[in-house]
Amino acid sequence: MSVMITDSCINCDACIDECPATAIINADESPSADGDYRYAYVKPEECTECVEVSVPKCEEVCPTEGCVVWDMPYTETYNDHFITSDDYVILVDKEKGLMSPLVAPRPFRESISIEDRINHVSVGETLEQYNQ
Ligand code: SF4
Ligand code: SF4
């Protein structure tokens, strides 16, 4: 990833059409769940952290404060984080196989600290760090 959507998501679906990487899927398709409650999911193998704009689009449109949080960069260093956790369902490409960080790393924001990512700090809280 990237970013994660948490269980404070109200399933308004506003972020889905705004994501430039088509990385967000709605609750019906999502593996993210808190008991019986399902909510939107970010595909880490697709998310670019919206590195080309100042504010990630999902955060910009989300009506729920603190809903979108940081996760680890989708890079080789964090390969195990993404492929060993039940929190993610990584795409298997017919030709390339599992689209793991090793196979298909994604852009990420170097301005966001690894500590903030480990702690899943909300994207909104780090707004002042963008574009550094
Ligand atoms: S950070 Fe950008 S690319 Fe990633 S899920 Fe949000 S809108 Fe999509
Ligand atoms: S905009 Fe926020 S509340 Fe709405 S579906 Fe996306 S993450 Fe959930």
Q: pLDDT tens-digit profile of 7-40?
A: 999 999 999 999 999 999 999 999 999 999 999 9
- Residue with token string 């990630």: 56
Residue with tokens 């017919």: 94
Sketch the domain layout of the chain as residue ranges. Answer: 3-123
Tell which one of 24, 64, 71, 123 to mutate to probe ligand 2, the residue whose CB is within 8 A of the most ligand atoms: 64
Whole-model pTM? 0.94
Question: Would you state the CATH architecture of domain 3-123?
Answer: 2-Layer Sandwich (3.30)
Per the listing, tokens 């994207």 go with 123
Q: Does the Cβ of 25 fall within 6 Å of ligand 1?
A: no
Between CA 99 and CA 44 the distance in angstroms is 10
**Average pLDDT for residues 99-103, to the nearest whole number?**
98
**Rounded distance between C-alpha atoms, residue 66 and residue 48, angstroms:** 19
Q: Which helix (H) or strand (E) holds 97?
A: strand 97-98
Shortest-distance Cα residue to atom 4 of ligand 2: 12
Query: Two tokens at 120?
Result: 């899943």
